[in-house]
Amino acid sequence: MTISVSPWLALVGLGAFHGLNPAMGWLFAVALGLHRQSRRIVWLSLIPIALGHMISIAAVVIGVVLLGLIVDQRMLEVAAGVVLLGWAAYHATYGHRHRVRIGMTTGMMGLGFWSFLMATAHGAGLMLVPVVIPLCLTASPEKELTTAGSLPIALAAISTHMTAMLVVILVIATCVYEWFGLSFLRRGWINFDLIWVAALAIIGLVLIV
Protein backbone atom coordinates (compact mmCIF):
# COMPACT_ATOMS: atom_id res chain seq x y z
CA MET A 1 0.00 0.00 0.00
CA THR A 2 1.43 3.36 -1.01
CA ILE A 3 0.15 6.52 0.50
CA SER A 4 1.19 9.77 -1.05
CA VAL A 5 1.73 12.73 1.24
CA SER A 6 0.11 15.43 -0.81
CA PRO A 7 -3.60 14.62 -0.18
CA TRP A 8 -2.91 14.71 3.56
CA LEU A 9 -1.23 18.08 3.14
CA ALA A 10 -4.23 19.24 1.16
CA LEU A 11 -6.47 18.16 4.04
CA VAL A 12 -4.33 20.12 6.48
CA GLY A 13 -4.42 23.10 4.13
CA LEU A 14 -8.20 22.98 3.84
CA GLY A 15 -8.48 22.64 7.60
CA ALA A 16 -6.34 25.74 8.02
CA PHE A 17 -8.38 27.58 5.38
CA HIS A 18 -11.66 26.72 7.10
CA GLY A 19 -10.20 27.68 10.47
CA LEU A 20 -9.01 31.07 9.20
CA ASN A 21 -12.50 32.13 8.13
CA PRO A 22 -14.00 34.20 10.97
CA ALA A 23 -17.42 32.83 9.98
CA MET A 24 -16.30 29.32 10.96
CA GLY A 25 -16.08 30.18 14.63
CA TRP A 26 -12.86 31.61 16.06
CA LEU A 27 -14.43 35.06 16.16
CA PHE A 28 -17.45 33.72 18.02
CA ALA A 29 -15.13 32.16 20.60
CA VAL A 30 -13.32 35.48 21.06
CA ALA A 31 -16.62 37.35 21.41
CA LEU A 32 -17.90 34.91 24.02
CA GLY A 33 -14.63 35.25 25.92
CA LEU A 34 -14.95 39.04 25.86
CA HIS A 35 -18.56 38.91 27.01
CA ARG A 36 -17.82 36.59 29.88
CA GLN A 37 -14.36 38.06 30.53
CA SER A 38 -12.72 34.67 30.48
CA ARG A 39 -9.80 33.29 28.54
CA ARG A 40 -11.03 29.85 29.50
CA ILE A 41 -14.30 30.47 27.66
CA VAL A 42 -12.37 31.35 24.50
CA TRP A 43 -10.56 28.02 24.56
CA LEU A 44 -13.52 25.94 25.73
CA SER A 45 -15.72 27.39 22.99
CA LEU A 46 -13.31 26.13 20.34
CA ILE A 47 -14.15 22.53 21.22
CA PRO A 48 -17.86 22.58 20.23
CA ILE A 49 -16.94 24.76 17.26
CA ALA A 50 -14.45 22.15 16.01
CA LEU A 51 -16.83 19.28 16.78
CA GLY A 52 -19.77 20.89 15.01
CA HIS A 53 -17.56 21.54 12.01
CA MET A 54 -16.31 17.96 12.07
CA ILE A 55 -19.78 16.44 12.23
CA SER A 56 -20.88 18.49 9.23
CA ILE A 57 -17.80 17.47 7.27
CA ALA A 58 -18.03 13.84 8.33
CA ALA A 59 -21.65 13.62 7.19
CA VAL A 60 -20.71 14.85 3.72
CA VAL A 61 -17.49 12.85 3.35
CA ILE A 62 -18.93 9.58 4.60
CA GLY A 63 -22.01 10.15 2.44
CA VAL A 64 -19.81 10.58 -0.62
CA VAL A 65 -17.68 7.55 0.20
CA LEU A 66 -20.76 5.38 0.70
CA LEU A 67 -22.21 6.68 -2.53
CA GLY A 68 -18.92 5.75 -4.16
CA LEU A 69 -19.58 2.11 -3.33
CA ILE A 70 -22.53 1.97 -5.66
CA VAL A 71 -21.85 4.75 -8.17
CA ASP A 72 -19.14 4.88 -10.79
CA GLN A 73 -16.24 7.08 -9.61
CA ARG A 74 -16.29 9.40 -12.60
CA MET A 75 -20.02 9.98 -12.20
CA LEU A 76 -19.48 10.68 -8.52
CA GLU A 77 -16.84 13.28 -9.29
CA VAL A 78 -18.97 15.05 -11.86
CA ALA A 79 -22.00 15.03 -9.55
CA ALA A 80 -19.93 16.38 -6.66
CA GLY A 81 -18.47 19.04 -8.98
CA VAL A 82 -21.91 20.16 -10.07
CA VAL A 83 -23.09 20.35 -6.46
CA LEU A 84 -20.02 22.43 -5.58
CA LEU A 85 -20.68 24.87 -8.41
CA GLY A 86 -24.31 25.12 -7.35
CA TRP A 87 -23.22 25.75 -3.79
CA ALA A 88 -20.87 28.49 -4.93
CA ALA A 89 -23.70 30.17 -6.85
CA TYR A 90 -26.06 29.84 -3.89
CA HIS A 91 -23.49 31.19 -1.48
CA ALA A 92 -22.69 34.15 -3.73
CA THR A 93 -26.37 35.03 -4.06
CA TYR A 94 -27.93 34.21 -0.71
CA GLY A 95 -24.95 33.77 1.61
CA HIS A 96 -25.91 36.85 3.60
CA ARG A 97 -29.50 35.84 4.10
CA HIS A 98 -29.58 33.03 6.60
CA ARG A 99 -31.81 32.91 9.63
CA VAL A 100 -29.80 33.69 12.72
CA ARG A 101 -30.62 30.99 15.22
CA ILE A 102 -27.86 31.27 17.78
CA GLY A 103 -26.86 34.42 19.63
CA MET A 104 -24.41 35.65 22.23
CA THR A 105 -26.09 33.91 25.17
CA THR A 106 -25.62 30.47 23.65
CA GLY A 107 -24.24 27.53 25.60
CA MET A 108 -21.71 24.99 24.34
CA MET A 109 -24.38 22.78 22.71
CA GLY A 110 -25.79 25.77 20.84
CA LEU A 111 -22.31 26.73 19.74
CA GLY A 112 -21.70 23.24 18.35
CA PHE A 113 -25.03 23.37 16.54
CA TRP A 114 -24.15 26.82 15.17
CA SER A 115 -20.79 25.56 13.91
CA PHE A 116 -22.49 22.57 12.29
CA LEU A 117 -24.98 24.88 10.54
CA MET A 118 -22.27 27.29 9.39
CA ALA A 119 -20.03 24.54 8.01
CA THR A 120 -22.99 22.87 6.29
CA ALA A 121 -24.36 26.08 4.81
CA HIS A 122 -20.89 27.03 3.59
CA GLY A 123 -20.43 23.64 1.92
CA ALA A 124 -17.25 23.00 3.93
CA GLY A 125 -17.50 19.21 3.62
CA LEU A 126 -17.96 19.38 -0.14
CA MET A 127 -14.57 21.04 -0.48
CA LEU A 128 -12.93 17.88 0.80
CA VAL A 129 -14.48 15.56 -1.78
CA PRO A 130 -11.76 15.77 -4.45
CA VAL A 131 -9.12 15.01 -1.83
CA VAL A 132 -10.96 12.19 -0.09
CA ILE A 133 -11.99 10.20 -3.18
CA PRO A 134 -8.44 9.61 -4.51
CA LEU A 135 -7.23 9.01 -0.98
CA CYS A 136 -9.73 6.24 -0.47
CA LEU A 137 -8.82 4.80 -3.88
CA THR A 138 -5.11 4.58 -3.14
CA ALA A 139 -6.03 2.78 0.06
CA SER A 140 -7.56 -0.14 -1.83
CA PRO A 141 -5.27 -2.41 -3.88
CA GLU A 142 -7.87 -2.80 -6.64
CA LYS A 143 -8.28 0.98 -6.92
CA GLU A 144 -11.92 0.59 -6.05
CA LEU A 145 -13.93 2.12 -3.28
CA THR A 146 -14.67 -0.55 -0.69
CA THR A 147 -16.22 -0.18 2.73
CA ALA A 148 -13.39 -1.89 4.52
CA GLY A 149 -10.68 0.11 2.79
CA SER A 150 -12.38 3.48 2.54
CA LEU A 151 -14.03 4.19 5.86
CA PRO A 152 -10.91 4.16 8.05
CA ILE A 153 -9.14 6.39 5.54
CA ALA A 154 -12.13 8.72 5.37
CA LEU A 155 -12.19 8.94 9.17
CA ALA A 156 -8.46 9.63 9.26
CA ALA A 157 -8.97 12.34 6.66
CA ILE A 158 -11.73 13.96 8.72
CA SER A 159 -9.58 13.87 11.88
CA THR A 160 -6.62 15.38 10.05
CA HIS A 161 -8.80 18.17 8.73
CA MET A 162 -10.30 18.82 12.14
CA THR A 163 -6.95 18.86 13.90
CA ALA A 164 -5.57 21.40 11.45
CA MET A 165 -8.68 23.54 11.84
CA LEU A 166 -8.55 23.34 15.63
CA VAL A 167 -4.89 24.37 15.74
CA VAL A 168 -5.54 27.35 13.48
CA ILE A 169 -8.61 28.59 15.38
CA LEU A 170 -6.77 28.13 18.67
CA VAL A 171 -3.85 30.23 17.47
CA ILE A 172 -5.97 33.02 15.93
CA ALA A 173 -8.50 33.19 18.75
CA THR A 174 -5.71 33.35 21.33
CA CYS A 175 -3.76 35.99 19.41
CA VAL A 176 -6.82 38.19 18.87
CA TYR A 177 -8.08 37.79 22.44
CA GLU A 178 -4.70 38.29 24.09
CA TRP A 179 -2.82 40.68 21.86
CA PHE A 180 -4.33 42.02 18.66
CA GLY A 181 -7.70 43.18 19.99
CA LEU A 182 -10.74 43.65 17.82
CA SER A 183 -9.76 46.84 16.05
CA PHE A 184 -7.85 44.81 13.53
CA LEU A 185 -11.18 43.40 12.30
CA ARG A 186 -12.00 46.79 10.82
CA ARG A 187 -9.33 46.56 8.13
CA GLY A 188 -7.93 43.05 8.46
CA TRP A 189 -11.17 41.15 7.88
CA ILE A 190 -10.76 40.54 4.19
CA ASN A 191 -13.69 39.26 2.20
CA PHE A 192 -13.53 35.58 3.04
CA ASP A 193 -16.93 35.01 1.50
CA LEU A 194 -15.56 35.85 -1.94
CA ILE A 195 -12.50 33.64 -1.46
CA TRP A 196 -14.81 30.91 -0.24
CA VAL A 197 -17.07 31.14 -3.27
CA ALA A 198 -14.01 31.02 -5.51
CA ALA A 199 -12.68 27.97 -3.66
CA LEU A 200 -16.01 26.15 -4.01
CA ALA A 201 -16.16 26.95 -7.71
CA ILE A 202 -12.55 26.01 -8.45
CA ILE A 203 -12.82 22.70 -6.60
CA GLY A 204 -16.08 22.02 -8.42
CA LEU A 205 -14.41 22.67 -11.78
CA VAL A 206 -11.40 20.50 -10.89
CA LEU A 207 -13.76 17.63 -10.17
CA ILE A 208 -15.66 17.98 -13.43
CA VAL A 209 -12.73 18.58 -15.78
174-183 core/surface letters (b: 16 or more CB in 10 A; e: else)? bebbeeeeee
Closer by beta carbon to another protein, 87 or else 114: 114
CB of 157 to another protein, least distance (A): 28
The separation between CA 195 and the C-alpha centre of its own chain, rounded to angstroms, equals 14
Nearest 5°: the CA angle 100, 103, 104 is 155
For residue 2, the tally of other CB atoms under 10 A from its CB is: 5
Contact 2, 11 (CB under 8 A): no
CB of 111 to another protein, least distance (A): 9
Closer by beta carbon to another protein, 106 or else 140: 106
Closer by beta carbon to another protein, 8 or else 113: 113
CB of 152 to another protein, least distance (A): 35
Among residues 24, 85, 87, 75, the alpha carbon closest in space to that of 53 is found at: 24
CB of 161 to another protein, least distance (A): 22
Closer by beta carbon to another protein, 89 or else 193: 193
Q: Which residues lie near another protein (CB under 8 A)?
A: 22-23, 27-28, 30-31, 34-35, 95-106, 114, 182-183, 185-191, 193-194
